[in-house]
Structure 1
Amino acid sequence: MKDKLIWPKEKNGVYTVKSGYHTKKNSSPLRPQISASSSHMIDNKVWSFIWNIKTPPRVKHFLWRASSKAIATRPALKQRKIAQEATCPICHDMDESMEHLILQCPWVETVWFGSMDHVMDKRSITLFDR
């Protein structure tokens, strides 16, 4: 009889990407997630707020991505070797974190408050989702 390749993880002996993925996933040692959000759990109240506000779906999606740290900020791009530096391209003062991008940058402050007359305590902002 002629030899035949058989994939032992499937009953019919045929390899599938799904069974290969699960085999690899189950055989790999568990390693900690290395990301900016790994030390920070987002409260379920934040998720409930995001998905229940009356706003267009694209705004909800943006808020979800911002809370999940899934926006392509300069530090994230630098870590992936896409960007050369992590500083904000507008103010060149701080790293372009999610908090800086949306709330802390001097240019963004003028957009939110309409003038430089309003002073925001930037030190009080530590995380985007709080």
Structure 2
Amino acid sequence: MIKGFKEFIMRGNVIDLAVAVVIGAAFTAIINAIVEGLINPLIGFLFQLGDLSSLNIVVPTLFGGTSTFAIGSILVASINFVAVAAIVYFVFVFPMNRWKERQAARAGVAEPEEAKLPTEQELLMQIRDLLQQQEKPRA
């Protein structure tokens, strides 16, 4: 049992995943700091809010009280998500894809061509042939 666990841990995928999680957490902290320290104040300045997270909508309830919708918090979380996703894509995914394409081109490995789909006329001819085979009397 210990031997199997050791083999599982020593696989490259597990270590790569662990590194990705750690790096992702670090980048998320950086992006959150940028959004909270730079982007939110800029948006708050443009809309004269002071801070985007303070944007709330207060609605009266049915029984005389009020209910507060924290729209600013939702916007801050959405901006954080888009910022993290964009940075991960443009810093990691896009360059890695370009690097893989260049490596494949250097190795002379062409990308596989997509199988040519039959035309509408070819499909109709195949259907006709199948129907003709079904109509023939069986001996």
Fold conserved between structures, TM > 0.5: no
TM-score w.r.t. length of structure 1:
0.23
Q: Which has the higher helix share?
A: 2
**TM-score with structure 2 length normalisation?**
0.22
Computing the radius of gyration from Cα coordinates, the structure with the larger value is: 2
